[in-house]
Structure 1
Amino acid sequence: MRQQQATKAGFLVLTVAAALTACGGSDGESYPTLSGERPLVIGHRGAAGYLPDHTLEGYKKAIDMGADFIEPDLVATKDGALIARHEPNITGTTDVSQRAEFAARKTKKVVDGVEEEGWFASDFTLAEIKTLRAIQPLADRDPQYNGKFQIPTLEEVLDLAKTEGAKAGRTVGVYPETKHPTYHVNLGLKLEDRLLAVLAKYGYTTKAAPVIVQSFEVSNLKYLRTKTQVRLVQLVDADDVKADGSMSLVAPYDKPYDFAVAGDARTFASLLTPAGLKEVKTYADGVGPWKPYLIPSKQVDANKDGKPDDLNGDGKVDERDRVMMAPTDVVKNAHAAGLFVHAYTFRSEAKRLASDFKGDPKAEYQLFYQLGVDGVFSDFADHAVAARNR
């Protein structure tokens, strides 16, 4: 059984490469995207595979590697400034825990129904945030740049995209995410109006603007649609992927948090049904699903002992021991509803790649490109671009 599954998935990867060659390959004449244009490469948190998340240096590196968009996650400071951090809790992405002058700011807050302890952006002014430095949040990635880069504002990210895009002779877009909108509203720091005000200063108010705004919540996107015509994207999350490839939906990652507050029974998965996608189309231009919603993977139990097989024999079971399954209909149904699909998150480390790809991240990109995704959020924009151009 294991051999049959691996052979089938391997054939699918080979078919992808052949199909990309047939439809133009590197010259990008035709792709199975909603528009027929080549898929976008989005620098996820900058160049997160190489430099600490959400720094101007990381965003510049992503642009240099060919990213079409750079992605700042937005949270608000005490004085209402929008800064690029992955979460309101800045403990894991800055050196704040090492700053004696801020030791007393350590506290507990409830974010999307979960109590967290640490230091939170909303307890700091922008001037104080600017004294902090970014650190690499993943222990298995290069820490040598810890403490070297500042925390940027949204305006600084927008300025960088314009400046570096001009140098490169192309338009570089910015793809901000409003992080935990309900949490910020409860603090009196509504992100959406602040975001709109900044975008208006740059003249970014139309669908043609080099901006796409994304969120895991729904009501804030509906609000934004009444205020702006910039492109909006509904993000779709889950808690985990089960052994059989199905999605695990456990709070707080089971549904948009505004659904939880409103007592709405629908889950993230509900948004990706044909009916859900049609509703999303009423307020957004695209969907941003976690990639297992598009092509799942599963563990193998060839001898039926109830334990997943260690396919590569390294003594542990992880992503490298999963096998890819057949694609779902999400991309097809989203395109039928008129929505583009930007999938997340693509990472190049071998331990984060399923067995089918044999440690080659480009093979994973090509599989998703051939499926018809309209864009990919990548920690390694250079690999995403290389796979697109292959």
Structure 2
Amino acid sequence: MTSAARPLVIGHRGASGYRPEHTAAAYRLAFRLGADAVEPDIVASKDGVLVLRHENEISGTTDVADRPEFAGRRTTKTIDGARVTGWFTEDFTWDELATLRARERLPQLRQSAASFDGTAGILRLRDLVDLMPADALMVAEIKHATYFASIGLPLEELFASEIRDWATSENLIVESFEQSVLGQIRERGIPGRFVYLLEAAGSAPDLRARFGRKALPYSAQLTNAGLARLAGEVDGISVDKKLLLRTDASGAVVGSTDLVKRAHAAGLEVYTWTLRAENRFLGKGMQRGSAARDFGDWRREFRIILDSGIDGVFADQPDLVRELLDR
């Protein structure tokens, strides 16, 4: 377990507060700003190449919608129970995806990052492996594994094959909202730590696919009994920061919950997402000024989370977390 006094600082999709996410520039900047690790989201192309995108639908993070040669690829699909319209990585070969240019996902909020639109292409997992510093950690998130398996693209197999020669117990954490894929990757002999992602509401996609409305909700997995069960199956959990922030009757943040303490007592590491400095993302009572893009009282919110005993935090602006820790 990491030291609670010095949690890991994980660049969320790189330094995504400053550069378009999942680009080489975002990852390199994250390490320059003091991140211990970076987090790639992993999806697949039509020909089984592992691609770094937050979602398999890519119209919000690339210029695909402006490319007339790909206009006919726009479609609507059901992904983990949700209807989504756009352009999807699994409908393109890697050679086609390699022609696209990355864009800022939140251009109105992060205008500086948006100024880098079009300056970089998108990356494969193997490209990130090549640019990782020797002592850095990768926190690899496997996205929509049940869905990809249903269309003949088994992410656990593709990931294990791609990462096997690089991964060690020291440089890799694998995470997913689907616990089943974590077990499948571990069974393939991939070293590292395995972390289960949990939302504040709902239930896991693989459990919904298997059990429908009877799927065990995340809330049941976060009870003391649920945490004890998870401790026998995974190394840690990673949760929405809402689950760590205690609020008063008005909804204002007043402190931290006991989740970290309870999970540690069960033997689990605990991580949280996502620390972001802009007013739009801060808890009630942390905003400063009226513009969503302005930085609010991020120091107060970040400090509450860091003081909870957390083992690692995902941050869009890793330098701000590092500033607090270095103090």
TM-score, with length taken from structure 2: 0.91
Partner of 1:149 in structure 2?
120
Alignment partner of 1:130 is 2:87: no
- The Cα shift of 1:360 comes to 2.7
- The Cα shift of 1:174 comes to 0.9
Corresponding residue SS for 1:207: coil
- The Cα shift of 1:36 comes to 4.6
Partner of 1:28 in structure 2?
none
Partner of 2:178 in structure 1?
217
Partner of 1:158 in structure 2?
129
Tell me how large the CA RMSD over aligned residues is.
1.7
C-alpha separation in 2, matches of 1:372 and 1:189: 38
Is contact 1:181-1:191 (8 Å) kept? Answer: yes
| Pairing 1:1-390 to 2, within 5 Å after superposition | 35-36=3-4, 38-138=6-106, 139-142=108-111, 143-161=114-132, 165-166=133-134, 171-202=135-166, 204=167, 206-208=168-170, 210-227=171-188, 228-238=190-200, 249=201, 254-263=202-211, 264-297=214-247, 300=250, 322-354=251-283, 355-356=285-286, 359-390=296-327
- The Cα shift of 1:298 comes to 5.4
- The Cα shift of 1:113 comes to 1.1
Is contact 1:357-1:363 (8 Å) kept? Answer: no
- The Cα shift of 1:387 comes to 1.1
**Letter matched to residue 376 of structure 1:** V
Is contact 1:45-1:73 (8 Å) kept? Answer: yes
Structure 1 unaligned segments of length 5 or more: list them: 1-32, 239-248, 301-321
Residues 279-300 of structure 1: per-residue CA shift (max 9 Å, x gap): 2222211110001111133572
Question: Bigger shift: 357-366 or 133-142?
Answer: 357-366
- The Cα shift of 1:351 comes to 3.3
C-alpha separation in 2, matches of 1:178 and 1:280: 18
Distance 1:282 1:224, change over 3 A: farther
C-alpha separation in 2, matches of 1:77 and 1:299: 47
Corresponding residue SS for 1:176: strand
- The Cα shift of 1:350 comes to 2.6
Question: Bigger shift: 357-366 or 193-202?
Answer: 357-366
Is contact 1:69-1:173 (8 Å) kept? Answer: yes
C-alpha separation in 2, matches of 1:36 and 1:103: 49
Corresponding residue SS for 1:362: helix
C-alpha separation in 2, matches of 1:299 and 1:232: 36
Corresponding residue SS for 2:274: strand
Identical residues among aligned pairs (%): 40
Residues 111-131 of structure 1: per-residue CA shift (max 9 Å, x gap): 011111110000001111110
Structure 2 unaligned segments of length 5 or more: list them: 289-295
**Letter matched to residue 198 of structure 2:** V
C-alpha separation in 2, matches of 1:136 and 1:66: 22
C-alpha separation in 2, matches of 1:147 and 1:130: 13
C-alpha separation in 2, matches of 1:159 and 1:224: 21
Is contact 1:179-1:215 (8 Å) kept? Answer: yes
C-alpha separation in 1, matches of 2:302 and 2:17: 16
- The Cα shift of 1:383 comes to 0.4
Corresponding residue SS for 2:35: coil
Is contact 2:45-2:93 (8 Å) kept? Answer: yes
Is contact 1:357-1:364 (8 Å) kept? Answer: no
C-alpha separation in 1, matches of 2:136 and 2:81: 36
**Letter matched to residue 101 of structure 1:** E
Equivalent residue pairs, number: 313
- The Cα shift of 1:357 comes to 7.2
Corresponding residue SS for 1:201: coil
Question: Higher Cα Rg: structure 1 or 2?
Answer: 1
Is contact 1:34-1:372 (8 Å) kept? Answer: no
Corresponding residue SS for 1:342: strand
C-alpha separation in 2, matches of 1:150 and 1:40: 28
C-alpha separation in 1, matches of 2:286 and 2:57: 36
Corresponding residue SS for 2:163: helix
